[in-house]
Amino acid sequence: MLRSRLLLLVLLLCFQGHLLLAQSAASSTPLEKTAPDTAFQNGSRFRLSKLTPQQVKNLTALGQVWGFLKYYHPAVAGGQYNWDAELFRLLPKVLASSNQQQRSETLSNWVTSLGPVAACAPCAAAPANPVRMAADLTWMEDKKLYSKALQRQLKHIQANRYQGKPYYVVPGGPGNPTFPQEAPCAQQTYPDAGLRILGLYRYWNVIQYYFPYKYAIGENWQQVLPEFLPRFIEATDALQYRLVALTLFARIHDTHATVIPDPLLTAYAGEYAVAAALQFIGGQPVVVRVRKDGLVVRPPLEPGDIIQQVDGVSVGALLKQRLPRAAGSNPGAQLATIASGLLRGATPQVQLKILRANQPLTVMAPRFKLGTQPPVRPAVDDTTYRFLTPTVGYFTMASITKAKLPAILKAFQQTKGIVVDMRNYPGEFVSYVLSTYFITQPTPFVKFTAFDPTYPGRFIEEPPMALPPDSTLTYAGQLVVLVNESTLSQAEFNAMALRSTPRCTILGSQTAGADGDVSRIVLPGNLTTRMSGIGVYYPDGRETQRVGIVPDVEMRPTAQGMREGQDELLEKARQLIESKP
């Protein structure tokens, strides 16, 4: 039996030239291909620098149908085609269409050429678990883009969609989608026009069918495709292509939607940085920490300084320029993204206009070369754990490990309360361990959703996950968790877990609003971005994406507190604990 299955697979590979992962009974007849499809391995050979309104309509329709067939049609979703190459073959003909009828006929003939789609009985079955987000295929109803005949074809494919193991998307570790077949086209730093269209199509359709929070984007995602088609076509060089892509990524409003380090974008942002950390407070960038460990030249900045100009450019102008490209689930997260790079540049020093204790100053601040030194660190005495007072303990998640937790909890066993600092990224994943020390019975704290491989665009809820109490050690005191816009992803997950414990208070400001594991998306030009890949909710279904972890007690630091060397949130946490009976 095993030998016959292997023989069948080899024969199919000989015909197809593409890996066939699985095929359901509803799949169409395999295509007779004698060699791998490498016709476009060096680019699309497509040239275009401007789009007419009719061409925008043509390319919008093509992009939506191309992506739908990629994930729904049995022959395509099963891996029988090099789908990027098929796009480049059809692109000139669709682009030349003069009206809806001509375009629809071209697309309809294309769909027919893929082979018949057999009836799929399992496709009509309802999922066992609740649906959090249904597949959104309303774009098919657009009569201005699609003829009735083409709509009927597409709806037939929807009703009898591929049910085998998908070729273009597979579940990652915790169930988030991964996209292993997407060619990076790394040889073209500035992809040609066809590859740029491919990049936009690829990204738009990944978000359309595999982003668990598409409903929370805040705008009609269908309108984003025609908006960005001219932008991608008119990008004149490799850098402009990347900047347009960053603007597109920011539109999903996901703090995870950053870009994996790219040489051109690194050079654009600047390879030098001032040894200081900033935080936006009241809409102004305030110096939080200044590095003074002797490894780099200490800049003439002090905690509490307000940055007003960078090399003669006002902060307001910089925000106007950078906000449209700043990844962030909410405004605070966007400002945190900008703060991390506000003092970067291409030169070893920068002129800064600052406000210090309400007095204007102009200073020249040295920059160090990125990669030669680690980033700005918290103060040396900010160790993993310490006593704030004899009755109040403190530990930071920045350097936490599972191995340290038992000793920390034992050390604080007789205290009145503990402050857990999550204004950072955890040193180790301890979400399923940390909270168990603060509960005495199984406690639900989170509910996930994951994409449905049998129905692209649909996300299914899983039952709530409960934490078991630790059998050896239980802490009975108060718990205050510090959060802000730097509390991101795993840190937010930790905060959710601790919030489920009975004596927890969340103190601070709105978090980054991007929980859940990350999926990578690769575009032509070897440009790689990310997105939140699974849905994360409270057990009762409340949102975390974009909303973040909402504090029980809202508080932000002040520039004056920075100048005086005070951690105002930490002091407030101590007061909250000591005020409890």
Report pLDDT digits (tens) over 455-477.
999 999 999 999 999 989 999 99
CB 102 within 8 A of CB 70: no
pLDDT classification of 375: cutoffs 50, 70, 90: low
Give Cα separations from 550 to 194, 227, 514 (angstroms).
44, 34, 13
d(CA 158, CA 502): 47
Map tokens 């069918």 to a residue. Answer: 209
Three-state DSSP state, 456: coil
Here the tokens at position 152 are 């009927």
Report pLDDT digits (tens) over 526-572.
999 999 999 999 999 999 999 999 999 999 999 999 999 999 999 99
d(CA 205, CA 60): 12
The answer to whether residue 382 scores a pLDDT higher than 60 is: no
Three-state DSSP state, 46: coil
pTM for the model stands at 0.92
In sequence order, what are the beta bridge partners of 365?
350
Here the tokens at position 145 are 């883009």
- What residues contact 338, with CB distance under 8 A and at least 6 apart? 280, 318, 319, 322, 323, 326
pLDDT over 70 percentage in the chain: 93
Angle subtended at Cα 322 by Cα 493 and Cα 366, rounded to the nearest 5 degrees: 95
The pLDDT of residue 373 is: 79
Largest CA distance in the chain: 83
The helix or strand, by DSSP H or E, that contains position 421, with its residue range, turns out to be strand 417-421
d(CA 311, CA 223): 38
Pairing of the two strands 306-310 and 349-356: antiparallel
Here the tokens at position 544 are 């975390």
**Mean pLDDT in residue range 173-184:** 94
The answer to whether residue 9 scores a pLDDT higher than 60 is: no
The answer to whether residue 15 scores a pLDDT higher than 50 is: no
Give Cα separations from 231 to 192, 199, 254, 480, 553 (angstroms).
14, 12, 21, 47, 43
pLDDT classification of 372: cutoffs 50, 70, 90: confident
The answer to whether residue 34 scores a pLDDT higher than 90 is: no
Report pLDDT digits (tens) over 513-536.
999 899 999 999 999 999 999 999
Here the tokens at position 407 are 């000793």
The answer to whether residue 31 scores a pLDDT higher than 60 is: no
d(CA 558, CA 567): 9
Which amino acid type is present at position 518? V
The pLDDT of residue 58 is: 98
CB 194 within 8 A of CB 41: no
d(CA 337, CA 323): 9
pLDDT over 90 percentage in the chain: 87
365 backbone dihedrals φ, ψ, rounded to 5° = -105, 130
d(CA 436, CA 512): 25
d(CA 422, CA 117): 52
**Mean pLDDT in residue range 72-96:** 97
**Mean pLDDT in residue range 231-260:** 98
The answer to whether residue 399 scores a pLDDT higher than 70 is: yes
382 backbone dihedrals φ, ψ, rounded to 5° = -85, 65
Sign of torsion, CA 180 182 183 189? negative
**Mean pLDDT in residue range 61-74:** 98
Q: CB-based burial of residue 32 (10 Å sphere; 0-12 exposed, 13-18 middle, 19+ buried)?
A: exposed
Report pLDDT digits (tens) over 279-327.
999 999 999 999 888 888 899 999 999 999 999 999 999 999 999 999 9
The helix or strand, by DSSP H or E, that contains position 474, with its residue range, turns out to be none
d(CA 198, CA 200): 5
**Mean pLDDT in residue range 444-463:** 97
Comparing CA positions, the residue from 303, 74, 54, 87 lying closest to residue 167 is 74
Say how many C-beta atoms besides its own lie within 10 A of residue 60's C-beta: 20
**Mean pLDDT in residue range 330-350:** 97
Got the DSSP string for 61-119?
HHHHHHHHHHHHSHHHHTT-S-HHHHHHHHHHHHHT--SHHHHHHHHHHHHHHT-----
Here the tokens at position 163 are 């049910």
Give Cα separations from 412 to 12, 380, 397, 438, 562 (angstroms).
64, 22, 16, 12, 28
The answer to whether residue 371 scores a pLDDT higher than 70 is: yes
pLDDT classification of 378: cutoffs 50, 70, 90: low
The answer to whether residue 12 scores a pLDDT higher than 70 is: no
Alpha helices in 114-262 (DSSP H): 148-159, 193-210, 221-234, 238-250
**Mean pLDDT in residue range 9-31:** 32
CB 525 within 8 A of CB 200: no
CB 209 within 8 A of CB 63: no
Q: Which of 392-396, 482-486, 577-581 comes out lowest in average pLDDT?
A: 577-581
Report pLDDT digits (tens) over 91-143.
999 999 999 999 999 999 999 999 999 999 999 999 999 999 999 999 999 99
